[in-house]
Amino acid sequence: MYQENQEVYDIEALMRKYGNDVLRTAFMYVNDSHLAEDIFQEVFIKVNQKLYTFQGESSIKTWIIRITINACKDYIKSAWNQKVTPLTEVHENTLYKEDDYSAVEQEDENRIIRDAVKELPQKYKDVLLCVYFQDMTVTETAKLLGIAEGTAKSRLSRAKEKLKLSLEGRI
């Protein structure tokens, strides 16, 4: 447990509150649910070890997401990842009824969007994930990524344009 400015942080509470955000962010980077779970564990081990270093210059969520993004980037750069291609998940044994058609269609559309986001250059993907998947403001995103707010706005705009072009004809 760590306390700063009358705010107490308990690792279990942080995991409950921000765990889904960490898992979702990791999955968007690595595209593998098992690997995302491994990164989730790594992130919260780091959070637990480094909680005393949190200075409150950003929100605790922003700090945790920054650790998540760094862990994902470390994995992507690792020699293991460059030698091994993860298997994509196959949803075997999933039977759909005719009335589930819209759910299947929505799931397929979500997969197409996720894949398009993953194909974006890293600097655009980072901004998109923070703003749209983590509900951060552009100001928070800029701080988290260590860039100027104007740069974050510009990257967000370019990311949306690139995403729009990528999705034309797919959906």
Model pLDDT for residues 95-135, shown as the tens digit of each residue: 555 556 676 677 778 788 888 888 889 899 889 888 888 88
Domain residue ranges of the chain, discontinuous segments joined by + = 1-86, 98-171
24 and 64 in contact (C-beta within 8 Å)?
A: no
For the chain, the C-alpha Rg in angstroms (whole number) is: 18
Q: What is the pLDDT of residue 95?
A: 53
Distance of CA 132 to the CA centre of its chain: 10
The domain 1-86 is placed in CATH, from the list 3.50.50.60, 1.20.81.30, 1.10.1740.10, 3.20.20.70, at 1.10.1740.10
Q: Could you say which architecture CATH assigns to the domain 98-171?
A: Orthogonal Bundle (1.10)
Q: Residue 2: beta bridge partners?
A: 9
Model pLDDT for residues 35-79, shown as the tens digit of each residue: 999 999 999 999 999 998 888 888 899 999 999 999 998 888 875
Q: Residue 4: beta bridge partners?
A: 7
- Rounded-to-integer distance, Cα 11 and Cα 46, Å: 11
What sign for the dihedral angle of Cα 7, 128, 72, 113? positive
Would you say residue 87 has pLDDT above 60? no
Q: Residue 7: beta bridge partners?
A: 4
Nearest residue to 164 via CA among 106, 120, 98: 120
Q: Dig out the tokens for 52 from the structure.
A: 């005393």
Highest mean pLDDT out of 124-133, 148-157, 160-169 = 148-157
162 and 123 in contact (C-beta within 8 Å)?
A: no
- Rounded-to-integer distance, Cα 27 and Cα 86, Å: 12
Hey, what long-range contacts does 5-10 have (CB within 8 A, 24 or more apart)?
A: 5/56, 7/56, 9/51, 9/54, 9/60
pTM (predicted TM-score)? 0.63
Would you say residue 163 has pLDDT above 80? yes
